[in-house]
Amino acid sequence: APTTPNLYMTEWQMVRQGIAWFGPICSKQISVGSGPFAPMITAHPASQSILAGYNATFTVDAAGTPPLYYQWQKNGVNLSNGGHYSGCTTPSMTVSDADGNDAANYRCVVTNAQGSATSNAATLTVQTSPVIHIVESRSGGQNYSLYSETGTWGNSSAKSTASGCTSGIGSRYCTIGASAGTAVFKFTPAASGPYKVYTTNCTTSNSGNPLIHQIGHAGGSANVGVCQNSACNPNPCNKWYLLGTYTLNAGTQYTVALNGSTAAGSLPSGYAGRSDSIKWESTGPVATPPSITQHPAAQNVCPGATAQFTVAASGSAPLTYQWQKNQVNLSNGGHYSGCTTATLTVSNADGNDAANYRCVVTNAYGNATSNAAALTLKSATAITQHPSNQSVPTGGTANFTVTATGDGTLAYQWQKNQVDLSNGGHYSGCTTATLTVSNCDSSDAANYRCVVTAGCGSATSNEATLTISSIQVIIDDNFDSYANQAAFQAVWPTPSTSLALSTTRYHSSPKSIYSAA
């Protein structure tokens, strides 16, 4: 485990019988020491690929001693709000109505009084030309490797002549019924955005009416029934028939499945279900309501510190934001700022700020509400019992004890006349809750206090005074019983180096008195 004071990210997995790691990797931020700490990036922004005219939002997460300051960069150059860019000095930066000039590398520099940290660069790819992806059902056709079937299908020499189709390769068909199979066409877009999805088949008069097309998209799936016969109006014979416009996410595989089962809704039983070609074609931005793509995270901060909550959302621009505290709208002022932006800041947090925070994101087509994130306060560092004054004789022992509470591990530092003590000589326990002063002499007479440090800073105890009291030793020598002896001579004892001789008491015989110096 690290011993140098700093912030660290830890990762671990489950282990079986001491040898095999399994399950997801779990990450947790830990702090060693009480800080202050320089920033550390805990979550880097992710690369994105979007269609021209769409929006992209990059988000960074960081830890460190607040306040933290954010500066987004494009290809290493600082960005400022305006044009296509907003949120350039917040944890989330949005590129709106993107075009080819916005294709670049984006990163964020996070700074505080102790230093700075720079996130990894995230690449924004902007698809400026239309995307057309056709999958055909016969070998020799476009993207044939992305076609598959379940159940029984047969070959047909007939083939759609719609634009872009491969002539002369034929198509496939099934017989509509309770146990009919499914033909599956696949597409993995490189760029997120709206796509029009089309189907086509050959000229026919004995085919599905309808044949169910199951279309996968970012929001789930949709079933569309298509009359495949040339007598229907409209029909997909030798032309592209629009199944709808759907939002797709980059890097995700989507499918269109032609389901010939009567249980799925295809009719009439015994007719042919035609499988020929499917086309996906990118289009311009469509009107979409907001969707929360990143919820705010719970915050646990020290009293007086700053907490930030960030939300990310997609949807047709412009998006507006309204933060709520316990489901009541917030406005800027007091401890709160950024109440109508993607990032809410709670400054100088106290007990009144401990609550649940969420954001309502709105545009012209609807709204979406984030999950609630709790703000909780750590325990402040506080002295609950101060050390008491002590009076001991020379050579005695004094103990000073402090009691404190705080977040995490408590660290102690005793001081003599406000100067840190270290163990040695008369002193022990200098970094514990109890200081011991042994074999006391006059040099130990002083004021003692303790500085207690925990996760939320330090607290200093009241001073306690150590007084060294004098020792008086009275030695009474009664000479009356032997004063008449011939060899008697009265001699005063010689004092030791630490005692002074006093002759302030006399009786019928000489007396000697020692008292402490």
- Any idea what the CATH number is for the domain that residue 63 is in? 2.60.40.10
**What is the C-alpha separation between 420 and 325, in angstroms, rounded?**
45
Let me know whether 460 and 512 are in one domain.
no
Neighbouring residues of 45: CB distance < 8 A, sequence distance ≥ 6: 58, 59, 60, 106, 107, 108, 119, 120, 122
> What per-residue confidence (pLDDT) applies to 79?
97
> What per-residue confidence (pLDDT) applies to 509?
43
**What is the C-alpha separation between 2 and 284, in angstroms, rounded?**
52
CATH of the domain at 219: 2.60.120.260
Which tens digits make up the pLDDT trace of 261-284? Answer: 999 999 999 999 999 999 999 986
Whether residue 482 contacts residue 488, with contact meaning beta carbons closer than 8 Å, is answered with yes
> What per-residue confidence (pLDDT) applies to 27?
59
Q: Examine the pLDDT at 30 and tell me if it is beyond 80.
A: no
Q: How many CB atoms lie within 10 A of CB 180?
A: 24
**What is the C-alpha separation between 138 and 142, in angstroms, rounded?**
9
Separation in Å, CA 403 to CA 228, 408, 459: 84, 15, 11
Beta-bridge mates of residue 467: 391
pLDDT tier at 505, thresholds 50, 70, 90? very low
Let me know whether 82 and 198 are in one domain.
no
Neighbouring residues of 39: CB distance < 8 A, sequence distance ≥ 6: 62, 63, 64, 68, 110, 111, 112, 114, 115, 116, 117
Which tens digits make up the pLDDT trace of 438-491? Answer: 999 999 999 999 999 999 999 999 999 999 987 655 555 554 555 555 554 555
Let me know whether 122 and 159 are in one domain.
no
**What is the C-alpha separation between 343 and 329, in angstroms, rounded?**
14
Token duo for residue 312: 């990310």
Let me know whether 144 and 271 are in one domain.
yes
**What is the C-alpha separation between 411 and 426, in angstroms, rounded?**
21
Q: How many CB atoms lie within 10 A of CB 72?
A: 26
3-state secondary structure 248-291: ECCCCCEEEEEECEHHHCCCCCCCEEEECEEEEEECCCCCCCCE
Identify whether 367 is part of a domain: yes
> What per-residue confidence (pLDDT) applies to 250?
87
Q: Examine the pLDDT at 500 and tell me if it is beyond 50.
A: no
**What is the C-alpha separation between 438 and 399, in angstroms, rounded?**
9
Which tens digits make up the pLDDT trace of 159-207? Answer: 999 999 999 999 999 999 999 999 999 999 988 888 999 999 999 999 9
Let me know whether 460 and 486 are in one domain.
no
Identify whether 25 is part of a domain: no
Which tens digits make up the pLDDT trace of 390-423? Answer: 999 999 999 999 999 999 999 999 999 999 999 9
Identify whether 474 is part of a domain: yes
Query: Where in the sequence is the domain holding 452, given as residue range(s)?
Result: 382-469
Q: Is 292 helix (H, G, I), strand (E, B) or coil?
A: strand
Let me know whether 148 and 243 are in one domain.
yes
Longest dimension (CA), the chain: 157
Let me know whether 178 and 267 are in one domain.
yes
Let me know whether 270 and 168 are in one domain.
yes
**What is the C-alpha separation between 335 and 124, in angstroms, rounded?**
35
Which among 374, 404, 420 is the end of a domain? 374
Neighbouring residues of 481: CB distance < 8 A, sequence distance ≥ 6: none
Question: Of the candidates 88, 87, 70, which has an alpha carbon nearest to the alpha carbon of residue 79?
Answer: 88
Let me know whether 175 and 45 are in one domain.
no
Phi/psi at 89 (5° precision): -120, 30
> What per-residue confidence (pLDDT) applies to 496?
44
Identify whether 438 is part of a domain: yes
Which tens digits make up the pLDDT trace of 90-139? Answer: 999 999 988 888 999 999 999 999 999 999 999 999 887 788 999 999 99
Identify whether 117 is part of a domain: yes
Let me know whether 143 and 242 are in one domain.
yes
Which among 352, 374, 396 is the end of a domain? 374
Identify whether 418 is part of a domain: yes
> What per-residue confidence (pLDDT) applies to 481?
53
Strand 92-95 versus strand 85-86 pairing type = antiparallel
DSSP string computed for 44-90 = PPPPEEEETT--EEEE-EEESSSPPEEEEEETTEE--SBTTEE-TTS
Q: Examine the pLDDT at 507 and tell me if it is beyond 80.
A: no
Q: Is 234 helix (H, G, I), strand (E, B) or coil?
A: coil
Mean pLDDT along residues 240-249: 94
> What per-residue confidence (pLDDT) applies to 83?
87
> What per-residue confidence (pLDDT) applies to 486?
55
